[in-house]
Amino acid sequence: MFFGWWTVLVTGIISGFGHGFYTFGISVFFKDLAAELGLNRAVTSLATGIGRLEGGITSPLTGWLSDKYGPKWVIFTGICLSGSGMILMNFINGLWQYLVVWGVFIGVGLNIGLTVAVDKALNDWFILRRGLAQGSKFALIGVGSIIVVPAVTLLATGFGWRITCLIWGCVMLACSPLSLLFVKQKRPEFYGLLPDGNKKAFINSEESDPLRQDSFILSYDNEEIEFSFKQAFKTRAYWLLAVAFGIQMLILGGISVHIVPFLTDIGISKTTAGAMLSMLVFFSIPSRFFGGVLADRLNKQNLPRAIGISMMIMAFGIGLFLVYQNLFSVFVFLILMGLCGGLYTPILTVALGRYYGRNSFGSIFGVLRALQAPLAFAAPAYSGWVYDTTGSYVTAFNQFAILLVVSSICLLSIRPPMPKGIDQ
């Protein structure tokens, strides 16, 4: 089997365990943690926001290190840092300790090890099958999250949130050596291989050497153009993608942490709420995979349009709940959030690779994450503040639906970037 597929398998599983715990696991023991530390929901949500903000701040550095030195040791370091932070959660006793451990240690560790660096590795090893690789990785993250939610629910119910964090930290540390075995530092060409596991050369011109760092290198029948970071940063498409990505992170961050509290507030038991959260993640799995497969079959022009349509459907799901506010509309809301939220990320990652190439992908994606970091930071705390002041999440959900429509309009207006001097 082509080595790149081993990278997909291992990074997907580890990412599922790490991000599943951080994104969805905390929702299971959110109320218990807040009660024991004497915090309201806004403050309890703040740690997750800090993690996302710190992750955004470090993403440009993570991307640059991955571009220059390779992603292997970046991934390993991040996994170890996040696992150590989860173990330290067992020993916290106050607000500042919670913010430092959950917000900085775990949040930054996951963002360093299991976001930009992993996407950089896959972007280097796949071109024609990049969507399938990314979709498979994100589907594996969904499978890992499916395992995480009931496991965390069981552990938190039986042993409490402290022991749950301790156990999960040990799981992450045990997984860290796998990243050293199944992630390579360099592109496949360095090891005598070709992207996607191809057996024949894919370069039409001797001047289009894929290992060169020159600007505007074209490969795979001129489908992909190599941009430097500075060139990508100046394109209109980059900033429209940044706006859309920021809004998406705002909404997913503002909702995901509060799903179980939201469901239990409307009279659903904690166990059932955990199962409904698992349902949301379950429906994201086929859409993550399908999103990647679809991305390989769409041209550059249609990639952002597919994302825009999915976000419009997500807005419809939120709107349906806001209008009817019954159990049926809650199920539709969660299912559409899972389906559309899962579709978004693999297509975005593929779009960045197809638009800007492989040479500077880590830096380009890292800065994009940094631009959305303030919104990701504010989202969980904002939803908690809305609840604390109004006794309901309805106001926040209204605003999220409107922002999804705005994001869709941005995405539908994107055109593939083309550097000066290169004709369409």
Residue 201, in any domain of the structure: no
Residue 382, in any domain of the structure: yes
pLDDT (tens digit, 9 = 90+) per residue, 314-355?
999 999 999 998 999 999 999 999 999 888 889 999 999 999
CA-CA-CA-CA dihedral for 295, 296, 299, 304, to nearest 10: 10
106-124 average pLDDT score: 93
Residue 413 in this model has a pLDDT that exceeds 80: yes
Number of domains within the chain = 1
pLDDT (tens digit, 9 = 90+) per residue, 153-171?
999 999 999 999 999 999 9
Residue 397, in any domain of the structure: yes
pLDDT (tens digit, 9 = 90+) per residue, 13-48?
999 999 999 988 888 899 899 999 999 988 888 888
pLDDT at 206: 38
Residue 115 in this model has a pLDDT that exceeds 70: yes
In percent, the amount of the chain with pLDDT more than 70 equals 93
Containing domain of residue 42, as a range?
A: 3-188+215-412
Residue 422, in any domain of the structure: no
pLDDT (tens digit, 9 = 90+) per residue, 220-243?
444 578 899 999 999 999 999 999
263-278 average pLDDT score: 88
Residue 156, in any domain of the structure: yes
| Contact (Cβ atoms closer than 8 angstroms) between residue 148 and residue 15 | no
CATH number of the domain where residue 286 is located: 1.20.1250.20
Residue 200, in any domain of the structure: no
Residue 9 in this model has a pLDDT that exceeds 60: yes
Average pLDDT, the chain: 88
Contacts of 311 (CB under 8 A, 6+ apart): 244, 248, 340, 344, 404, 407, 408, 411
Give CA–CA dist 282/276, Å, rounded: 10
Report yes or no on whether pTM surpasses 0.75.
Answer: yes
Contacts of 108 (CB under 8 A, 6+ apart): 51, 54, 55, 58, 78, 81
Residue 197, in any domain of the structure: no
Residue 208, in any domain of the structure: no
